[in-house]
Structure formats: C-alpha cells, structure tokens
Amino acid sequence: MSDTTGAVPLPNIAILISGTGSNLQAFIDACECGELRATIRIVISNTPDAKGLQRAAEAGIATRAIDHRDYDSREIFDAALGSALQEYDIDLVILAGFMRILTPVFIEPYLGQLLNIHPSLLPKYPGLHTHQRALDARDKEAGVTVHFVTPELDSGPAIIQAKVAIQSDDSAESLAARVLVLEHKIYPLAAQWFLQGRLQLTNNGASLDGELVPESGVPYP
C-alpha cells in the first residue's frame, strides 16, 4: 500500500528494553543510515529509569515505561505490554536486553514476529551470567545468538550467531564488551532479513531464503 505521495510506508518495529539500550542504539543508527528499512514506532521499558528510554527520546521515538512491579502476575504484566503494543501497527517486536521472562500471554500473539538476542552460543548457556559461565567452563569461544522467541526461555530457533575467541586474560566484562560489538551488527541484520520477507519461523525452525537455518544459526560473518 502507498500513501498520497506514492511512498510505500516502512514497516514498524517495537523495541523492548530494560537497561542501557546499546542494542536499541544500534537499531536507531541502522534506521538512520538506511541499513535497516524500518520505523521504530515505540520503545517500552519495564524499568522506568532505563538509560535506553533517554536514547529513544533523544532520537525522537515514542517511549513508554510499563513497570512490572505495578502488576500482580507475569500474565497481567504481559497483557498490559500486549495491549500497549496494539496501539501501534507493529510488524516486528525486538527484545533488546529486556530482562523479564515473558509468558505465552505476550508471546503467542507475536509468535514468528518476536526476536531476542542472547549473549551466548545457544544452545549453550540459556539464562543469566553467560560470559562467566563460558569462562568457568574454560570454553575457547563465546558469542551471541539472535533467535525467534518461543515460550521456552532462550530456546527458540536460532537465526544468526557470532563468535569471539576467549583470551587467557578475559574477564566476564572484557568478554561482554567484545561480544557487544558483534551484537550491534547481527541484530539489525536479522531484523532486516525478517522485514524483507527473507526470514520466517516455521514448524521445523528458522528459515532464511527458503532454506532451513542450522541449529546454531547462520554464522556471522
């Protein structure tokens, strides 16, 4: 569909955050430079003082805080989140450091349109403290995975994965910093694939350009 100027409107994304919002910033930058052909319609945080909300406001993007502490259960919080998003015509929902476990109340209506980034080489280390766990296990490499969200925590089909070599003097912080650089590259890329219609969630896993994506995601680069 086109508007009166004949321009085809860009697809709309919503970004959910809880903290610093460096991945959100990567999306803002990717939209500004045209690498990601999308409009960020709304940024929602479950923590009202999240730094990412300032980043969004500075970029002129609508923001909203929906504080999970104001809700009696995860399901009621998720319903509030879902109805906030319904005010916008959202094509893709991006979880970018959103630190709440979502229930099917939120996930099911957006199944196949909901992406997360997890700082580990999934299926290794779902959950928290991923970099420390990789160091404790004396792994040789660490990394990050973008995946479709399904009701099982950090277990939806992988889309893209980037690795870094672990150095002998790495701390969880130094490792996280190197991984974050890659997060900012692969997450907008996965979103662009989705919005171009190249990427889908199927019953067998993620599909990119009609091919089933390997279990650990497309390797990046």
Which residues make up the interface to ligand GRF (CB under 6 A)? Answer: 17, 19-23, 52, 96-97, 117-119, 144, 180, 183
To ligand GRF, the closest distance from the beta carbon of 210 in angstroms equals 28
Q: In this structure, which amino acid lies at residue 162? A: A
14 vs 175: CA distance, rounded Å: 28
Q: Helical H runs in the chain?
A: 22-32, 51-58, 74-86, 104-110, 130-136, 172-195
Nearer to ligand GRF, 185 or 207 (CB): 185
Nearer to ligand GRF, 113 or 116 (CB): 116
In angstroms, what is the C-alpha Rg of the chain? 17
- Catalytic site positions: 118
To ligand GRF, the closest distance from the beta carbon of 89 in angstroms equals 25
Residue nearest to ligand GRF (CB): 97
In which element (H, E) is residue 64 found? strand 62-65
207 vs 199: CA distance, rounded Å: 6
To ligand GRF, the closest distance from the beta carbon of 142 in angstroms equals 11
Nearer to ligand GRF, 119 or 217 (CB): 119
